[in-house]
Every structure is written in C-alpha cells, then in structure tokens.
Amino acid sequence: MSTLSNALSQVGNTVSTAASQIGSTASTAASQIGSTASTALGTTTPSTTSTGSTSSTGSSSTNGSTASAASQTFAGNYDTFLQLLTTQLQNQDPLDPLDTNQFTQQLVEFASVEQQINMNTNLQTLITMQQTSQATAALQLVGSTVSVTGNTATLSNATKSPATWSLSASAPATANITISNSTGQVAYTGTMALNAGTQTFTWNGQSNGTTWPDGSYTISVNATGANGQAVTVSTQVQGVVTGVNTSQNPPTLTVNGQTVQISQIQSISNGMLSSLGSSIANLNTSIASLTQAL
C-alpha cells in the first residue's frame, strides 16, 4: 500500500507540474502575440494625405505614387505578419499545435498578394511606355495630310481652297446634301448621285449667287436606294495636321482647326505612314518584352 501511495503521489505531482508549465507557456505566448499585434496595429495605421490639383500629365505620376504606396503598405503588413507567425510558432501550445493547413494557406495568400502588386507595378510601366509611344507617334504627324472621319471641312476663298468631303456609300443611291455653317445656318442644299464606294464632294462656297465667307462647314447626307431604302453614307474630311495636344490621353490632333482623335485617322499621306508604322512596331516590341517579364 505504501508503494502504491507513493506512485500515485508522484503522478499527481507530475501532472500538476505539466499543467503549470503549459499554463505559463500559454500565458507567455498570449502576452507576446498581443504585444506584437499591438505594435503592428500602431505601425500600420493608414495615414491620410491631401493632394492638390494636378496638371493633365499628372495621372501617370499619381498612379505610380499609388502603386508605390500600396507596395510600401503591403511590405509593412507582410513583415508584421511574419512577426506574428514567428511568435505564434515559438509559443504554440504543445497539446494544440498550429494547424499546418492554415499555416500554408496564410503563406500562399500573402505570396499571391505580393505577386499581384509586382504585376501592377509592371503594368504601370507598360502604360507609361504606351503613353510615350502615342505622344511620339502623334508628334510625327505634324505637317502631314490626313483623312479623318468627320463631317466638318474648311472653306477658304482667300486661297481658293473649297470645302471637300469624301463620301462612302454602301450601295448606289441618291443623296440629299445639306451644308451648314458653324452657327447652324443652312448654306447649301442639293442632290447627288452616289455610287457604291468612295467619292468626293466639293463645295466652292457658292449658293444661289451668294458667296459664303471662309470658315468651317458641316455636311449632312441623307441617301436612299433605288427601292426607297435608306443607304448608309459615311463622311471623311482631309486636312493638314497643324498641332498636337500631348496633354490629352490619348493625344489629340488639330486638323482644319478641329480637334480629332488619332483613332479617327483613316489615311496618311506625305510619307508619314511609314514613320507611324515604325512607331507602332516599336511599341509592339516593347509590349512583347514586358509581357515576357510578367
């Protein structure tokens, strides 16, 4: 009986000591994790900064600053996460260790976010390269004669330059043509037989014995086919590029005093098409290189 009593006493003492150690370890872990979390919350509090007005070219720098701030914030959060994870591993309860599946999932999630931020940075670089290429291509067009989609042409009696439009009909038709000045006043009305395809309409500023002044004039075309059905007619105007606004994204051109988008250009003369094609080819090469880097 004495031997059994001593054995039971030793077992009781061992259990009591183990429980005390586990309680002490859990208390220490909770304290350290709480301290690390408190520090993390204190260092990752988002700050608010006010921004003033920016110029038209400031969008790229703003996006770059946003991406940089996001990267810095993520880096701080990632370091804090590693501190919390390390503390948790060092002080985990031996009777209830950290779930390895949860641990792996947390690492994968943070690695995914880090990769996404790196990708966003590379995409921002790609956007900047594209904007630079667009501006370069637009500047090369100055002095070129271009055809653009539109219905407003310039009349210049001083230089004997009539207002000229290109009309593209989807089928043979009879067109009712109306030309108005910049204030909407009708300057000319008439009819014209259209063939399927592209043809030119020229107005010298004369109408019912009246010579209209120099300026911009807009054409309106309503066409009907042989069976009375409506025929679609698209209009283009030709002019010289006299200016480029690179502060716009994408850059805009000034043609015949009108602001047009580069996407409106249908054809280019004076040998500038090859230069534009070269710029586009260089842009495609840069995009391919960056895509491989991604």
Quick one: pLDDT at residue 165? 93
Average pLDDT over residues 102-114: 74
Picking from 120-134, 148-162, 209-223, which range would have the lowest pLDDT averaged per residue? 120-134
When pLDDT is cut at 50, 70 and 90, the band that residue 23 belongs to is very low
pLDDT above 80: residue 266:
yes
Buried b (16+ CB within 10 A) or exposed e, 109-146: ebeeeeeebeeeeeebebeebbbebbbbbbebbeebeb
Phi/psi of residue 46, nearest 5 degrees = -65, 140
The number of angstroms, rounded, from the C-alpha of 260 to the middle of its chain's C-alpha atoms is 20
**How is residue 20 annotated by DSSP?**
H
Q: Is pLDDT larger for residue 157 or for residue 277?
A: 157
pLDDT above 90: residue 255:
no
In angstroms, what CA-CA distances link 133 with 62, 166, 267? 19, 30, 19
- Nearest CA to 153 out of 241, 234, 218 is that of 218
Picking from 47-61, 123-137, 227-241, which range would have the lowest pLDDT averaged per residue? 47-61
What one-letter code names the amino acid at 109? E
The whole-model pTM stands at: 0.48
Quick one: pLDDT at residue 189? 95
- Nearest CA to 217 out of 232, 231, 202 is that of 202
Quick one: pLDDT at residue 6? 55
pLDDT tens digits, one per residue of 50-87: 333 333 344 444 555 555 665 566 556 667 777 777 77
Are 169 and 231 in contact by the 8 Å Cβ rule? The answer is yes
Picking from 75-79, 117-121, 165-169, 278-282, which range would have the lowest pLDDT averaged per residue? 278-282
Q: Is pLDDT larger for residue 242 or for residue 109?
A: 242
> How many Å apart are CA 146 and CA 244, to the nearest integer?
13
Quick one: pLDDT at residue 87? 77
What one-letter code names the amino acid at 233? V
pLDDT tens digits, one per residue of 188-220: 999 999 999 999 999 999 998 899 999 999 999
Average pLDDT over residues 211-235: 93
* Architecture (CATH level 2) of domain 145-288: Sandwich (2.60)
